[in-house]
Amino acid sequence: MPRIMDILETIAHFGKNPDGSYTRRLYSPEFFQALEAAENLLQKAGLATSRDAAGNLRAVLPGTDPAARHILMGSHLDTVPSGGLYDGAYGVAAAIGCVQRLQEEARRLRHTVEVYAFNGEEASPLGGTFGSRALAGLTDPDQPLLKGTLEGFGRRVEEILACRRDFSDAACYLETHIEQGGKLEKDGVQLGIVSGISNIVRYLVTAEGQSNHGGTTPMEDRQDAMVAMAKLIVFADAACRKIGHSLVFTAGKIQCWPNAANVVPGKVTCTFEMRNVDRQYTDELIREIQAATELIPDGRFTIQQLIYKDSAVCDPKLMEAFEKAADSLGATWQVMPSGAGHDADSIAHRIPVAMLFIPSHNGISHSGQEYTPADDVERGGEVLYRTLLELDGEIQ
């Protein structure tokens, strides 16, 4: 039986840095080296492979029933700068392990199986989930700077739009992934059955005051944009905690003008990002933040939405198939939302999706310190395989 850990180390060792982290960026040589390694394994397993202009790899294993809709599996092979071994590539390795095992067991499924290795899931100048969005036909040709950015990678907008897949023959998409958080390990649970993928809502908040001398301007006469922004950040953090329901808030990037040690700041910008599976809670938080800006006297605020990615709800029947497979193995599991974005979010716009999480040690991800024990790696692959067999007998 193929070991998922061996497959993972075969396809994901490219781009390894001296500190042990990995860097495989969008359209990079290191990404395509990993893609070629995955393609070689898939071809050896008897799958026909192809690539598209977005950099996605598709591999097809025909089923015995041409009328049966296809079962799709996969994840991404790119990383953040100085990322870890497991993020994304694990899902590709688990899918490869499934089709290798089908070959070794001489088992023919009724449904055609497709394995995908996506490009550009991580944030980039082309936006996150670039490859899966291209496959799902979600590329916005009017996106600012799209044409010029693609040209920098030797691609054209028309090529990316042509990557769109017709999903009329597809039944579902399954993705395995590390949790990228610490809940499973903290709770002592082996698997997470994902209920949905959180939306991502990001705003640029600007506070404007009055630049002035830091030594001669009395405190009561100041219009300090930094103080105004600080008060709003503290308010937003508290409001997020009060709303609850797994809502998260991040004030992630801040800039100050004139950015001098002896000058009262006259302008400060900060990104406010919030995520939740249920949009009502992110809407509630931004309403409270907007109301709070009227009560802070230190500056004048403007709020501009930068990004809105809708949430995706996982299919209950597919979730149940993961649960049955986990139970058959005697594995412990819990239902949980995903706070991170995934390729499944893109595909969910076209067909039902489900995701399976395995633990991330100490909740660390997007880091060279990312680690998941081999037993957890193999357990996730086994549950994916059993789920594939279960669905082959259930779905039309």
Euclidean distance between the first and the last CA atom of the chain, given in angstroms as a whole number: 28
Residue-level pLDDT at 90? 98
Is-cis flag, bond preceding 359, omega within 30?
A: no
Q: Are residues 47 and 162 in the same domain?
A: yes
Regarding whether 321 and 304 lie in a shared domain, the answer is no
Tell me: the pLDDT tens digits for 146-179? Answer: 999 999 999 999 999 999 999 999 999 999 999 9
Tell me the mean pLDDT in the region 200-215: 96
For residue 83, give the CATH number of its domain: 3.40.630.10
Q: Which of 310, 323, 327, 328 is nearest to 354 (CA)?
A: 323
Kindly list the distances between the CA atom of residue 169 and the CA atoms of 71, 150, 350, in Å, as whole numbers in the listed order. 9, 30, 11
pLDDT at 310: 87
Shared-domain flag, residues 18 and 154: yes
Residue 394 — pLDDT band, cuts 50, 70, 90? confident
222 and 279 housed in the same domain: yes
d(CA 43, CA 49) in angstroms, rounded, equals 7
In this structure, the answer to whether residues 209 and 145 fall within a common structural domain is: no
Cα 85 to Cα 161, 174, 386, distances in angstroms: 31, 20, 25
How many angstroms separate the CA atoms of 29 and 132, rounded? 20
pLDDT score at 385: 98
CA-closest candidate to residue 391, choices 170, 136, 190, 106: 170
Cβ atoms of residues 311 and 198 within 8 Å: yes
pLDDT at 143 over 90: no
* Domain, as residue range, for 177: 4-198+311-394
Question: Where does the chain have alpha helices with state H?
Answer: 4-12, 29-44, 89-104, 130-135, 146-152, 157-161, 183-187, 225-243, 279-293, 316-329, 343-347, 374-394
pLDDT confidence of residue 144:
83
For residue 232, pLDDT over 90 is answered with yes
Asked which of 262, 280, 309 is the last residue of a domain, the reply is: 309
19 and 92 part of one domain: yes
**Sequential DSSP letters for 316-379:** HHHHHHHHHHHHHHT--EEEEEE-S--HHHHHTTTS-EEEEEE--GGG--SSTT----HHHHHH
Please say whether the dihedral angle defined by the alpha carbons of residues 337, 340, 341 and 342, taken in this order, is positive or negative: negative
* Residue 298 in this model has a pLDDT that exceeds 50: yes
For residue 73, pLDDT beyond 60: yes
| Alpha carbon distance 263, 368 (integer Å) | 39
Contacts of 241 (CB under 8 A, 6+ apart): none
Question: 258 in helix, strand or coil?
Answer: coil
User: 168 and 210: one domain?
Assistant: no
Give the chain's domain count.
Answer: 2
* Per-residue pLDDT at 89 exceeds 60: yes
pLDDT, residue 2, reads 56
**In what order do the strands lie in the sheet containing 248-257?**
248-257, 267-275, 200-208, 300-309
Which residues contact residue 154 at a Cβ distance below 8 angstroms, ignoring those fewer than 6 apart?
none
- Whether the per-residue pLDDT at 319 is higher than 60: the answer is yes
* Domain closes at, from 257, 292, 309: 309
Residues in the chain: 396
Looking at every residue in the chain, the average pLDDT score rounds to: 96
Asked if pLDDT for residue 126 goes beyond 90, the answer is yes
Mean pLDDT of 19-25: 98
pLDDT at residue 33 greater than cutoff 80: yes
Res 1: pLDDT: 47
Q: Taking 70 as the threshold, does the pLDDT of residue 79 lie above it?
A: yes
Average pLDDT over residues 34-61: 98
Q: Does the pLDDT of residue 395 top 80, yes or no?
A: no
**Closest of 299, 293, 345 to residue 127, by C-alpha:** 345
366 shares a domain with 275: no
Same domain, 178 and 323: yes
- In contact, 276 and 311? CB cutoff 8 Å: yes
- For residues 271 and 137, membership in a common domain is answered with no
| Average pLDDT over every residue of 291-311 | 94
